[in-house]
Protein backbone atom coordinates (compact mmCIF):
# COMPACT_ATOMS: atom_id res chain seq x y z
CA UNK A 1 0.00 0.00 0.00
CA UNK A 2 2.77 2.40 0.96
CA UNK A 3 4.64 1.55 -2.25
CA UNK A 4 1.53 2.31 -4.33
CA UNK A 5 1.02 5.63 -2.52
CA UNK A 6 4.68 6.55 -2.99
CA UNK A 7 4.48 5.59 -6.66
CA UNK A 8 1.32 7.65 -7.14
CA UNK A 9 2.86 10.67 -5.38
CA UNK A 10 6.03 10.44 -7.46
CA UNK A 11 3.98 10.14 -10.64
CA UNK A 12 1.94 13.22 -9.69
CA UNK A 13 5.10 15.23 -9.00
CA UNK A 14 6.65 14.19 -12.32
CA UNK A 15 3.42 15.09 -14.14
CA UNK A 16 3.28 18.52 -12.51
CA UNK A 17 6.93 19.14 -13.35
CA UNK A 18 6.31 18.19 -16.98
CA UNK A 19 3.16 20.35 -17.15
CA UNK A 20 5.00 23.27 -15.55
CA UNK A 21 7.91 22.88 -17.97
CA UNK A 22 5.57 22.66 -20.95
CA UNK A 23 3.58 25.70 -19.84
CA UNK A 24 6.74 27.67 -19.19
CA UNK A 25 8.12 26.88 -22.67
CA UNK A 26 4.78 27.60 -24.31
CA UNK A 27 4.42 30.85 -22.36
CA UNK A 28 7.93 31.95 -23.29
CA UNK A 29 7.31 31.15 -26.95
CA UNK A 30 3.98 32.93 -26.93
CA UNK A 31 5.48 36.04 -25.33
CA UNK A 32 8.30 36.05 -27.88
CA UNK A 33 5.80 35.76 -30.73
CA UNK A 34 3.61 38.55 -29.35
CA UNK A 35 6.56 40.89 -28.72
CA UNK A 36 7.95 40.27 -32.22
CA UNK A 37 4.53 40.84 -33.75
CA UNK A 38 4.18 44.15 -31.95
CA UNK A 39 7.69 45.34 -32.87
CA UNK A 40 7.02 44.46 -36.49
CA UNK A 41 3.74 46.34 -36.31
CA UNK A 42 5.46 49.46 -35.04
CA UNK A 43 8.00 49.48 -37.86
CA UNK A 44 5.63 48.55 -40.69
CA UNK A 45 2.30 49.59 -39.33
CA UNK A 46 0.31 50.38 -42.44
CA UNK A 47 0.97 54.02 -41.65
CA UNK A 48 -0.68 54.09 -38.21
CA UNK A 49 0.46 53.67 -34.61
CA UNK A 50 -2.43 53.27 -32.19
CA UNK A 51 -1.88 54.61 -28.67
CA UNK A 52 -4.41 53.97 -25.90
CA UNK A 53 -4.46 56.14 -22.75
CA UNK A 54 -6.01 54.55 -19.66
CA UNK A 55 -6.81 56.01 -16.25
CA UNK A 56 -9.47 58.01 -14.47
CA UNK A 57 -10.97 61.43 -15.13
CA UNK A 58 -7.52 63.07 -15.10
CA UNK A 59 -7.04 61.15 -18.36
CA UNK A 60 -10.64 61.47 -19.58
CA UNK A 61 -11.05 65.26 -19.39
CA UNK A 62 -9.33 68.61 -18.88
CA UNK A 63 -10.45 72.20 -18.51
CA UNK A 64 -11.88 74.02 -21.50
CA UNK A 65 -10.34 77.17 -22.97
CA UNK A 66 -12.35 79.37 -20.60
CA UNK A 67 -11.37 77.33 -17.54
CA UNK A 68 -15.01 76.80 -16.68
CA UNK A 69 -15.73 73.22 -17.61
CA UNK A 70 -14.10 69.80 -18.01
CA UNK A 71 -14.21 68.26 -21.47
CA UNK A 72 -12.56 65.34 -23.34
CA UNK A 73 -11.70 67.56 -26.30
CA UNK A 74 -8.86 69.22 -24.36
CA UNK A 75 -7.70 66.17 -22.37
CA UNK A 76 -4.05 65.22 -22.75
CA UNK A 77 -4.76 62.21 -25.07
CA UNK A 78 -6.55 64.45 -27.60
CA UNK A 79 -3.72 66.97 -27.51
CA UNK A 80 -1.11 64.20 -27.64
CA UNK A 81 -2.45 62.95 -30.98
CA UNK A 82 -2.20 66.43 -32.49
CA UNK A 83 1.32 66.99 -31.14
CA UNK A 84 2.66 63.61 -32.28
CA UNK A 85 1.40 64.16 -35.82
CA UNK A 86 2.63 67.75 -35.97
CA UNK A 87 6.15 66.77 -34.94
CA UNK A 88 6.74 64.01 -37.51
CA UNK A 89 5.25 62.73 -40.76
CA UNK A 90 6.64 59.18 -41.06
CA UNK A 91 3.56 57.53 -39.50
CA UNK A 92 0.10 58.54 -38.40
CA UNK A 93 -0.45 58.39 -34.63
CA UNK A 94 -3.97 57.75 -33.39
CA UNK A 95 -4.41 58.34 -29.66
CA UNK A 96 -7.52 56.84 -28.08
CA UNK A 97 -8.88 57.88 -24.68
CA UNK A 98 -10.10 55.13 -22.32
CA UNK A 99 -10.25 57.40 -19.27
CA UNK A 100 -13.18 56.70 -16.92
CA UNK A 101 -14.93 59.41 -14.92
CA UNK A 102 -14.71 58.32 -11.29
CA UNK A 103 -12.91 55.12 -12.30
CA UNK A 104 -10.44 53.05 -10.32
CA UNK A 105 -7.42 51.08 -11.45
CA UNK A 106 -9.62 47.98 -11.48
CA UNK A 107 -12.35 49.50 -13.65
CA UNK A 108 -9.69 50.99 -15.94
CA UNK A 109 -8.24 47.53 -16.55
CA UNK A 110 -11.68 45.97 -16.94
CA UNK A 111 -12.46 48.46 -19.70
CA UNK A 112 -9.04 47.90 -21.24
CA UNK A 113 -9.51 44.13 -21.43
CA UNK A 114 -12.94 44.55 -22.94
CA UNK A 115 -11.88 47.02 -25.63
CA UNK A 116 -8.51 45.52 -26.62
CA UNK A 117 -9.95 43.39 -29.47
CA UNK A 118 -11.70 46.45 -30.91
CA UNK A 119 -9.02 49.11 -30.40
CA UNK A 120 -5.92 46.95 -31.02
CA UNK A 121 -3.42 49.40 -29.47
CA UNK A 122 0.29 49.13 -30.11
CA UNK A 123 1.10 51.32 -27.09
CA UNK A 124 -0.74 51.74 -23.78
CA UNK A 125 -0.11 54.76 -21.53
CA UNK A 126 -1.23 54.22 -17.95
CA UNK A 127 -1.71 56.88 -15.29
CA UNK A 128 -4.10 55.37 -12.78
CA UNK A 129 -4.86 54.58 -9.16
CA UNK A 130 -5.82 57.93 -7.65
CA UNK A 131 -9.45 56.84 -7.09
CA UNK A 132 -8.58 53.50 -5.48
CA UNK A 133 -9.44 53.09 -1.83
CA UNK A 134 -8.93 50.63 0.98
CA UNK A 135 -12.43 49.28 0.35
CA UNK A 136 -12.37 49.37 -3.46
CA UNK A 137 -13.26 46.23 -5.34
CA UNK A 138 -14.39 42.80 -4.17
CA UNK A 139 -12.57 41.05 -1.37
CA UNK A 140 -9.58 39.21 -2.79
CA UNK A 141 -9.28 35.47 -2.15
CA UNK A 142 -6.35 34.35 -0.06
CA UNK A 143 -3.17 34.60 -2.09
CA UNK A 144 -1.02 31.50 -2.67
CA UNK A 145 2.42 31.37 -0.99
CA UNK A 146 4.77 33.91 -2.54
CA UNK A 147 7.28 31.27 -3.64
CA UNK A 148 4.67 29.77 -6.01
CA UNK A 149 3.78 32.99 -7.78
CA UNK A 150 6.19 32.47 -10.69
CA UNK A 151 4.94 28.95 -11.50
CA UNK A 152 2.97 28.86 -14.74
CA UNK A 153 0.63 26.22 -13.34
CA UNK A 154 -0.21 28.53 -10.44
CA UNK A 155 -0.63 31.49 -12.81
CA UNK A 156 -2.96 29.46 -15.02
CA UNK A 157 -5.09 28.42 -12.03
CA UNK A 158 -5.09 32.01 -10.76
CA UNK A 159 -6.29 33.36 -14.12
CA UNK A 160 -9.04 30.73 -14.24
CA UNK A 161 -10.08 31.55 -10.67
CA UNK A 162 -10.11 35.29 -11.37
CA UNK A 163 -12.12 34.84 -14.56
CA UNK A 164 -15.44 34.49 -12.75
CA UNK A 165 -14.72 37.55 -10.58
CA UNK A 166 -13.80 39.61 -13.64
CA UNK A 167 -16.99 38.54 -15.42
CA UNK A 168 -19.02 39.69 -12.42
CA UNK A 169 -17.37 43.08 -12.04
CA UNK A 170 -15.90 43.93 -15.44
CA UNK A 171 -16.70 47.19 -17.15
CA UNK A 172 -18.93 46.47 -20.15
CA UNK A 173 -19.67 48.62 -23.18
CA UNK A 174 -22.80 46.89 -24.44
CA UNK A 175 -25.61 46.77 -21.90
CA UNK A 176 -29.37 46.49 -22.10
CA UNK A 177 -30.36 46.62 -18.42
CA UNK A 178 -29.02 47.73 -15.05
CA UNK A 179 -28.12 44.10 -14.32
CA UNK A 180 -25.47 44.31 -17.05
CA UNK A 181 -23.65 47.14 -15.25
CA UNK A 182 -20.85 46.06 -12.86
CA UNK A 183 -21.93 45.77 -9.24
CA UNK A 184 -19.55 48.56 -8.23
CA UNK A 185 -21.30 51.10 -10.49
CA UNK A 186 -24.85 49.77 -10.76
CA UNK A 187 -26.60 52.14 -8.38
CA UNK A 188 -24.90 55.26 -9.88
CA UNK A 189 -25.97 57.12 -6.72
CA UNK A 190 -23.60 60.08 -7.01
CA UNK A 191 -24.11 60.79 -10.73
CA UNK A 192 -27.87 60.30 -10.36
CA UNK A 193 -28.12 62.87 -7.56
CA UNK A 194 -25.82 65.34 -9.26
CA UNK A 195 -27.36 65.37 -12.72
CA UNK A 196 -30.95 64.04 -12.94
CA UNK A 197 -32.72 66.76 -10.91
CA UNK A 198 -36.17 66.45 -12.50
CA UNK A 199 -39.25 66.30 -10.31
CA UNK A 200 -41.03 64.49 -13.14
CA UNK A 201 -38.94 61.33 -12.69
CA UNK A 202 -40.44 60.75 -9.22
CA UNK A 203 -43.95 59.41 -8.77
CA UNK A 204 -45.99 56.26 -9.02
CA UNK A 205 -43.97 53.29 -10.32
CA UNK A 206 -46.18 52.98 -13.40
CA UNK A 207 -45.68 56.64 -14.39
CA UNK A 208 -43.33 57.43 -17.33
CA UNK A 209 -40.73 59.21 -15.18
CA UNK A 210 -39.98 56.40 -12.70
CA UNK A 211 -40.07 53.87 -15.53
CA UNK A 212 -37.33 55.85 -17.28
CA UNK A 213 -34.87 55.81 -14.38
CA UNK A 214 -33.10 52.52 -15.29
CA UNK A 215 -32.48 53.81 -18.81
CA UNK A 216 -31.27 57.18 -17.47
CA UNK A 217 -28.78 55.37 -15.23
CA UNK A 218 -27.55 53.41 -18.25
CA UNK A 219 -26.96 56.71 -20.04
CA UNK A 220 -25.06 58.04 -17.03
CA UNK A 221 -22.97 54.88 -16.94
CA UNK A 222 -21.96 55.24 -20.58
CA UNK A 223 -21.04 58.89 -19.93
CA UNK A 224 -18.89 57.97 -16.95
CA UNK A 225 -16.90 55.35 -18.84
CA UNK A 226 -16.14 57.89 -21.58
CA UNK A 227 -18.71 56.76 -24.13
CA UNK A 228 -20.44 60.12 -24.61
CA UNK A 229 -21.87 59.29 -28.05
CA UNK A 230 -23.51 56.16 -26.70
CA UNK A 231 -24.74 58.08 -23.62
CA UNK A 232 -26.34 60.67 -25.89
CA UNK A 233 -28.03 57.98 -27.97
CA UNK A 234 -29.43 56.26 -24.89
CA UNK A 235 -30.67 59.51 -23.35
CA UNK A 236 -32.30 60.72 -26.56
CA UNK A 237 -34.15 57.40 -26.68
CA UNK A 238 -35.30 57.98 -23.07
CA UNK A 239 -36.59 61.44 -23.98
CA UNK A 240 -38.38 60.12 -27.06
CA UNK A 241 -40.09 57.34 -25.10
CA UNK A 242 -40.63 58.84 -21.65
CA UNK A 243 -40.22 62.60 -22.13
CA UNK A 244 -37.72 62.93 -19.23
CA UNK A 245 -33.94 63.00 -18.95
CA UNK A 246 -33.39 66.48 -20.37
CA UNK A 247 -31.10 67.69 -17.59
CA UNK A 248 -28.76 64.71 -17.86
CA UNK A 249 -28.51 64.97 -21.66
CA UNK A 250 -27.83 68.72 -21.38
CA UNK A 251 -24.90 68.02 -19.06
CA UNK A 252 -23.52 65.37 -21.43
CA UNK A 253 -23.74 67.77 -24.38
CA UNK A 254 -22.12 70.58 -22.39
CA UNK A 255 -19.26 68.30 -21.33
CA UNK A 256 -18.60 67.61 -25.02
CA UNK A 257 -18.33 71.34 -25.73
CA UNK A 258 -21.79 71.45 -27.36
CA UNK A 259 -23.16 74.11 -25.04
CA UNK A 260 -25.44 75.78 -27.59
CA UNK A 261 -27.16 72.42 -28.14
CA UNK A 262 -27.45 71.93 -24.38
CA UNK A 263 -29.10 75.34 -23.97
CA UNK A 264 -31.45 74.72 -26.90
CA UNK A 265 -32.45 71.33 -25.43
CA UNK A 266 -33.35 72.90 -22.08
CA UNK A 267 -35.16 75.82 -23.68
CA UNK A 268 -37.27 73.33 -25.62
CA UNK A 269 -37.99 71.39 -22.44
CA UNK A 270 -39.05 74.59 -20.67
CA UNK A 271 -41.47 75.43 -23.48
CA UNK A 272 -42.86 71.88 -23.48
CA UNK A 273 -43.08 71.54 -19.69
CA UNK A 274 -43.44 74.96 -18.02
CA UNK A 275 -44.46 73.20 -14.80
CA UNK A 276 -40.93 71.70 -14.38
CA UNK A 277 -38.96 74.49 -12.71
CA UNK A 278 -35.74 72.48 -12.55
CA UNK A 279 -35.11 72.98 -16.25
CA UNK A 280 -34.70 76.70 -15.52
CA UNK A 281 -32.39 76.00 -12.58
CA UNK A 282 -30.11 73.75 -14.66
CA UNK A 283 -30.16 76.13 -17.65
CA UNK A 284 -29.15 79.01 -15.35
CA UNK A 285 -26.32 76.90 -13.97
CA UNK A 286 -24.97 76.20 -17.45
CA UNK A 287 -25.16 79.89 -18.33
CA UNK A 288 -23.30 80.82 -15.15
CA UNK A 289 -20.55 78.32 -15.98
CA UNK A 290 -20.19 80.00 -19.37
CA UNK A 291 -20.14 83.45 -17.68
CA UNK A 292 -23.31 84.45 -19.54
CA UNK A 293 -24.45 86.12 -16.37
CA UNK A 294 -27.10 88.49 -17.78
CA UNK A 295 -28.83 85.60 -19.54
CA UNK A 296 -28.70 83.53 -16.35
CA UNK A 297 -30.17 86.45 -14.40
CA UNK A 298 -33.06 86.71 -16.85
CA UNK A 299 -33.81 82.99 -16.64
CA UNK A 300 -33.78 83.01 -12.84
CA UNK A 301 -35.84 86.19 -12.55
CA UNK A 302 -38.58 84.75 -14.76
CA UNK A 303 -38.53 81.46 -12.88
CA UNK A 304 -38.74 83.07 -9.45
CA UNK A 305 -41.56 85.38 -10.57
CA UNK A 306 -43.58 82.35 -11.71
CA UNK A 307 -42.52 80.12 -8.82
CA UNK A 308 -46.06 79.18 -7.80
CA UNK A 309 -46.74 77.69 -11.23
CA UNK A 310 -44.18 74.92 -10.74
CA UNK A 311 -44.71 71.43 -9.42
CA UNK A 312 -43.09 70.75 -6.03
CA UNK A 313 -42.61 74.45 -5.21
CA UNK A 314 -40.79 74.03 -1.82
CA UNK A 315 -38.27 71.74 -3.49
CA UNK A 316 -37.71 73.71 -6.69
CA UNK A 317 -37.40 77.10 -5.00
CA UNK A 318 -34.32 75.94 -3.09
CA UNK A 319 -32.41 75.09 -6.27
CA UNK A 320 -33.48 78.28 -8.02
CA UNK A 321 -32.22 80.33 -5.09
CA UNK A 322 -29.01 78.29 -4.91
CA UNK A 323 -28.42 79.14 -8.58
CA UNK A 324 -29.15 82.81 -7.88
CA UNK A 325 -26.65 82.80 -5.01
CA UNK A 326 -24.05 81.36 -7.40
CA UNK A 327 -24.87 84.12 -9.87
CA UNK A 328 -24.36 86.88 -7.29
CA UNK A 329 -21.09 85.32 -6.13
CA UNK A 330 -19.83 85.20 -9.72
CA UNK A 331 -20.67 88.90 -10.01
CA UNK A 332 -18.69 89.65 -6.87
CA UNK A 333 -21.86 90.55 -4.93
CA UNK A 334 -20.92 88.40 -1.97
CA UNK A 335 -23.28 89.95 0.57
CA UNK A 336 -26.27 89.43 -1.74
CA UNK A 337 -25.18 85.83 -2.25
CA UNK A 338 -24.93 85.29 1.51
CA UNK A 339 -28.34 86.87 2.10
CA UNK A 340 -30.00 84.60 -0.47
CA UNK A 341 -28.43 81.49 1.06
CA UNK A 342 -29.24 82.45 4.65
CA UNK A 343 -32.80 83.71 4.06
CA UNK A 344 -34.19 81.80 1.11
CA UNK A 345 -32.63 78.31 1.07
CA UNK A 346 -34.59 76.32 3.61
CA UNK A 347 -34.07 72.79 4.95
CA UNK A 348 -36.32 70.55 2.90
CA UNK A 349 -37.15 66.90 3.48
CA UNK A 350 -36.43 65.39 0.08
CA UNK A 351 -38.16 62.07 0.64
CA UNK A 352 -38.19 60.12 -2.63
CA UNK A 353 -36.47 63.06 -4.36
CA UNK A 354 -33.21 62.44 -2.47
CA UNK A 355 -32.36 59.79 -5.08
CA UNK A 356 -32.27 62.36 -7.90
CA UNK A 357 -31.38 65.66 -6.18
CA UNK A 358 -28.25 66.70 -4.26
CA UNK A 359 -28.95 67.75 -0.67
CA UNK A 360 -29.76 71.51 -0.65
CA UNK A 361 -28.17 71.81 2.79
CA UNK A 362 -24.86 70.56 1.37
CA UNK A 363 -24.99 73.05 -1.51
CA UNK A 364 -25.98 75.82 0.88
CA UNK A 365 -23.06 75.21 3.25
CA UNK A 366 -20.63 75.00 0.33
CA UNK A 367 -22.01 78.24 -1.16
CA UNK A 368 -21.73 80.05 2.18
CA UNK A 369 -18.16 78.82 2.55
CA UNK A 370 -17.23 80.06 -0.92
CA UNK A 371 -18.80 83.48 -0.36
CA UNK A 372 -17.08 83.97 3.01
CA UNK A 373 -13.83 82.75 1.47
CA UNK A 374 -14.14 85.42 -1.22
CA UNK A 375 -14.72 88.02 1.52
CA UNK A 376 -11.63 86.67 3.36
CA UNK A 377 -13.73 85.92 6.42
CA UNK A 378 -11.64 82.89 7.24
CA UNK A 379 -13.45 81.85 10.41
CA UNK A 380 -16.91 81.69 8.86
CA UNK A 381 -15.55 80.15 5.65
CA UNK A 382 -13.97 77.38 7.71
CA UNK A 383 -17.16 76.78 9.70
CA UNK A 384 -19.38 76.34 6.65
CA UNK A 385 -16.89 74.34 4.59
CA UNK A 386 -16.39 71.91 7.44
CA UNK A 387 -20.15 71.48 7.66
CA UNK A 388 -20.21 70.79 3.92
CA UNK A 389 -17.52 68.13 4.41
CA UNK A 390 -19.63 66.56 7.14
CA UNK A 391 -22.48 66.30 4.66
CA UNK A 392 -20.35 64.65 1.98
CA UNK A 393 -16.67 63.87 2.65
CA UNK A 394 -16.12 62.73 -0.96
CA UNK A 395 -17.00 66.07 -2.56
CA UNK A 396 -13.43 67.15 -3.11
CA UNK A 397 -14.19 70.79 -3.92
CA UNK A 398 -15.05 71.58 -0.30
CA UNK A 399 -11.79 70.13 1.04
CA UNK A 400 -9.91 72.06 -1.63
CA UNK A 401 -11.64 75.29 -0.55
CA UNK A 402 -10.99 74.53 3.11
CA UNK A 403 -7.32 73.95 2.37
CA UNK A 404 -7.26 77.42 0.80
CA UNK A 405 -8.49 78.84 4.11
CA UNK A 406 -5.81 77.03 6.08
CA UNK A 407 -3.00 77.95 3.73
CA UNK A 408 -4.04 81.60 3.65
CA UNK A 409 -4.03 81.66 7.46
CA UNK A 410 -0.91 79.54 7.97
CA UNK A 411 -2.74 76.68 9.70
CA UNK A 412 -0.90 73.80 8.09
CA UNK A 413 -1.34 71.53 11.11
CA UNK A 414 -5.10 72.05 11.00
CA UNK A 415 -5.24 71.16 7.32
CA UNK A 416 -3.26 67.99 7.98
CA UNK A 417 -5.67 67.07 10.78
CA UNK A 418 -8.72 67.49 8.52
CA UNK A 419 -7.08 65.66 5.63
CA UNK A 420 -6.15 62.72 7.84
CA UNK A 421 -9.71 62.55 9.10
CA UNK A 422 -10.87 62.58 5.48
CA UNK A 423 -8.42 59.78 4.72
CA UNK A 424 -9.82 57.71 7.59
CA UNK A 425 -13.33 58.35 6.26
CA UNK A 426 -12.76 57.62 2.57
CA UNK A 427 -9.59 55.52 2.42
CA UNK A 428 -8.83 57.02 -1.01
CA UNK A 429 -5.40 57.18 -2.58
CA UNK A 430 -6.27 60.75 -3.57
CA UNK A 431 -6.11 61.77 0.09
CA UNK A 432 -2.61 60.31 0.40
CA UNK A 433 -1.53 62.34 -2.61
CA UNK A 434 -3.11 65.50 -1.22
CA UNK A 435 -1.28 64.96 2.07
CA UNK A 436 1.96 64.46 0.13
CA UNK A 437 1.31 67.73 -1.69
CA UNK A 438 0.73 69.47 1.66
CA UNK A 439 3.98 68.07 3.07
CA UNK A 440 5.89 69.29 0.05
CA UNK A 441 4.38 72.78 0.20
CA UNK A 442 5.04 73.08 3.94
CA UNK A 443 8.69 72.00 3.69
CA UNK A 444 8.11 68.50 5.12
CA UNK A 445 8.89 66.52 1.97
CA UNK A 446 10.91 64.01 3.99
CA UNK A 447 7.60 62.69 5.37
CA UNK A 448 6.31 61.72 1.92
CA UNK A 449 8.10 58.35 1.45
CA UNK A 450 6.66 56.88 4.65
CA UNK A 451 3.23 58.21 3.71
CA UNK A 452 3.30 56.55 0.27
CA UNK A 453 4.54 53.26 1.71
CA UNK A 454 1.47 53.33 3.96
CA UNK A 455 -0.76 54.09 0.95
CA UNK A 456 0.46 51.01 -0.91
CA UNK A 457 0.02 48.84 2.21
CA UNK A 458 -3.49 50.13 2.91
CA UNK A 459 -4.69 50.09 -0.71
CA UNK A 460 -3.39 46.81 -2.18
CA UNK A 461 -5.36 47.28 -5.40
CA UNK A 462 -2.68 49.74 -6.56
CA UNK A 463 0.07 47.12 -6.76
CA UNK A 464 -2.26 44.29 -7.74
CA UNK A 465 -3.72 46.09 -10.73
CA UNK A 466 -0.39 47.34 -12.03
CA UNK A 467 0.78 43.73 -11.84
CA UNK A 468 -2.29 42.73 -13.79
CA UNK A 469 -1.51 45.43 -16.38
CA UNK A 470 2.09 44.22 -16.75
CA UNK A 471 0.87 40.65 -17.36
CA UNK A 472 -1.75 41.75 -19.87
CA UNK A 473 0.59 43.91 -21.97
CA UNK A 474 3.30 41.26 -21.90
CA UNK A 475 0.81 38.61 -22.95
CA UNK A 476 -0.50 40.76 -25.81
CA UNK A 477 2.90 42.08 -26.92
CA UNK A 478 1.88 45.70 -26.32
CA UNK A 479 4.40 48.42 -25.45
CA UNK A 480 3.53 49.70 -21.97
CA UNK A 481 4.26 53.27 -20.87
CA UNK A 482 3.58 54.12 -17.20
CA UNK A 483 3.65 57.57 -15.65
CA UNK A 484 2.96 59.23 -12.34
CA UNK A 485 0.50 62.09 -11.86
CA UNK A 486 2.12 65.49 -12.49
CA UNK A 487 4.02 66.96 -9.51
CA UNK A 488 4.43 63.57 -7.78
CA UNK A 489 7.62 61.53 -7.79
CA UNK A 490 8.52 58.48 -9.81
CA UNK A 491 9.96 56.95 -6.64
CA UNK A 492 6.45 56.86 -5.19
CA UNK A 493 5.16 55.34 -8.42
CA UNK A 494 7.69 52.49 -8.23
CA UNK A 495 6.30 51.43 -4.87
CA UNK A 496 3.32 49.97 -6.72
CA UNK A 497 4.48 49.99 -10.37
CA UNK A 498 8.03 48.58 -10.06
CA UNK A 499 10.65 48.97 -12.77
CA UNK A 500 10.37 46.14 -15.26
CA UNK A 501 11.98 45.06 -18.48
CA UNK A 502 10.31 46.58 -21.56
CA UNK A 503 8.15 48.96 -19.47
CA UNK A 504 8.86 52.62 -20.22
CA UNK A 505 8.40 55.17 -17.42
CA UNK A 506 7.77 58.90 -17.76
CA UNK A 507 8.86 61.17 -14.91
CA UNK A 508 6.19 63.87 -14.47
CA UNK A 509 7.36 65.23 -11.12
CA UNK A 510 8.52 68.58 -12.49
CA UNK A 511 6.43 68.85 -15.64
CA UNK A 512 4.24 71.60 -14.13
CA UNK A 513 6.97 73.50 -12.26
CA UNK A 514 6.78 76.51 -14.59
CA UNK A 515 3.19 77.41 -13.64
CA UNK A 516 1.54 74.96 -11.21
CA UNK A 517 -1.34 77.32 -10.45
CA UNK A 518 -2.03 77.78 -14.14
CA UNK A 519 -1.83 74.10 -15.04
CA UNK A 520 -4.20 72.71 -12.41
CA UNK A 521 -7.94 73.14 -12.86
CA UNK A 522 -9.87 74.35 -9.81
CA UNK A 523 -11.83 71.31 -8.59
CA UNK A 524 -15.37 72.50 -9.24
CA UNK A 525 -16.42 69.19 -10.76
CA UNK A 526 -17.90 66.74 -8.21
CA UNK A 527 -15.35 64.33 -6.73
CA UNK A 528 -12.50 65.75 -8.83
CA UNK A 529 -8.82 65.35 -8.10
CA UNK A 530 -6.33 67.76 -9.61
CA UNK A 531 -7.61 67.88 -13.15
CA UNK A 532 -5.58 69.90 -15.62
CA UNK A 533 -6.36 73.08 -17.46
CA UNK A 534 -6.20 73.07 -21.24
CA UNK A 535 -2.67 74.47 -21.11
CA UNK A 536 -1.70 71.97 -18.39
CA UNK A 537 -2.94 69.07 -20.50
CA UNK A 538 -0.96 70.44 -23.44
CA UNK A 539 2.25 70.65 -21.39
CA UNK A 540 1.70 67.08 -20.20
CA UNK A 541 1.01 65.91 -23.76
CA UNK A 542 4.21 67.56 -25.02
CA UNK A 543 6.16 65.78 -22.28
CA UNK A 544 4.60 62.41 -23.14
CA UNK A 545 5.24 63.00 -26.86
CA UNK A 546 8.96 63.46 -26.16
CA UNK A 547 9.12 59.94 -24.74
CA UNK A 548 6.94 58.26 -27.37
CA UNK A 549 8.89 59.76 -30.25
CA UNK A 550 12.19 58.83 -28.63
CA UNK A 551 11.10 55.26 -27.92
CA UNK A 552 9.85 54.70 -31.45
CA UNK A 553 12.68 56.55 -33.15
CA UNK A 554 10.52 59.05 -34.96
CA UNK A 555 12.68 62.09 -34.18
Query: Where are the chain's structural domains?
Result: 45-135+427-555, 171-358
Return the percentage of the chain with pLDDT > 70, whole number: 82
Give the pLDDT of residue 241.
95
pLDDT digits (tens, 9 = 90+) for 8-57: 556 545 554 454 454 444 434 433 443 444 444 444 456 799 999 999 98
Going edge to edge, which strands form the sheet with 123-127?
92-99, 48-55, 123-127, 479-483, 503-506
Name the DSSP class of 291.
Answer: T
Give me the DSSP letters along 227-257: -HHHHHHHHHHHHHHHS--HHHHHHHHHHTT
CATH class held by domain 171-358: mainly alpha
Name the DSSP class of 70.
Answer: E
Q: Give the DSSP H/E element, type plus range, for residue 480.
A: strand 479-483
Whole-angstrom Cα distance, residue 98 to residue 115? 9
pLDDT digits (tens, 9 = 90+) for 199-257: 999 987 777 788 999 999 999 988 887 788 899 999 999 999 999 999 999 999 998 88
Whole-angstrom Cα distance, residue 159 to residue 346? 54
Per DSSP, the three-state class of 62 is strand
Whether 361 contacts 331, CB under 8 Å: no
On the question of a common fold for 45-135+427-555 and 171-358, the answer reads: no
pLDDT digits (tens, 9 = 90+) for 79-121: 999 999 999 988 999 999 999 887 889 989 988 988 899 899 9
Give the pLDDT of residue 253.
94
Q: Which residues contact 421 (CB under 8 A, 6 or more apart)?
A: none
The angle at the Cα of 128, spanning 104 to 515, to the nearest 5 degrees, equals: 125
- Give the mean pLDDT of 406-432: 90
**Phi (first) and psi of residue 93, to 5 degrees:** -90, 135
pLDDT tier at 191 (50, 70, 90 boundaries)? confident
Q: Give the DSSP H/E element, type plus range, for residue 503.
A: strand 503-506
Whether the predicted model's global pTM rises above the 0.85 cut: no
Give the pLDDT of residue 25.
45
The pLDDT of residue 337 is above 60: yes
Provide long-range contacts, Cβ within 8 A and 24+ apart, for 339-348.
Answer: 341/367, 341/368, 341/371, 342/368, 344/317, 345/318, 345/321, 346/314, 346/318, 348/314, 348/315, 348/318
Give the pLDDT of residue 193.
87
pLDDT tier at 5 (50, 70, 90 boundaries)? low
**Max Cα-Cα span within the chain:** 96
**Phi (first) and psi of residue 459, to 5 degrees:** -125, 80
pLDDT tier at 185 (50, 70, 90 boundaries)? low
pLDDT tier at 169 (50, 70, 90 boundaries)? very low
Among 178-187, 333-342, 544-553, the range with the most confident prediction by mean pLDDT is 333-342
Least Cα distance to 488 among 451, 526, 542, 457 occurs for 451
**CATH superfamily, with its number, for domain 45-135+427-555:** SGNH hydrolase (3.40.50.1110)
Whole-angstrom Cα distance, residue 290 to residue 280? 15
Amino acid sequence: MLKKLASFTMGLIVTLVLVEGGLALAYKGFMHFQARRNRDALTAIEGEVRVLAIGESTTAVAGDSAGRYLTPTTAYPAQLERILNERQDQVRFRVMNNGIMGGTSESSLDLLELTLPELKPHVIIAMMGIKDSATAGPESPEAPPSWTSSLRTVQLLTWLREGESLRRDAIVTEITSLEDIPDSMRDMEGPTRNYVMETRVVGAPEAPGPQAMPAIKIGLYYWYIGRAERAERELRAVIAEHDVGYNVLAQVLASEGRRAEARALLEGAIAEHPEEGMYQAVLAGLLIEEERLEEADAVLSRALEGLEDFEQVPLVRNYLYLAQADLFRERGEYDRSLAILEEEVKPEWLGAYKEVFPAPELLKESGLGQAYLAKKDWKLAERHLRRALDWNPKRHVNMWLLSTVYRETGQVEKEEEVRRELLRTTGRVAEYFELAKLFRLSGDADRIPELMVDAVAQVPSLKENYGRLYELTEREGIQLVVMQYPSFSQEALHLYAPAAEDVVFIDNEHVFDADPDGYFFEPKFPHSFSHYTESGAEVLAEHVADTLLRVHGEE
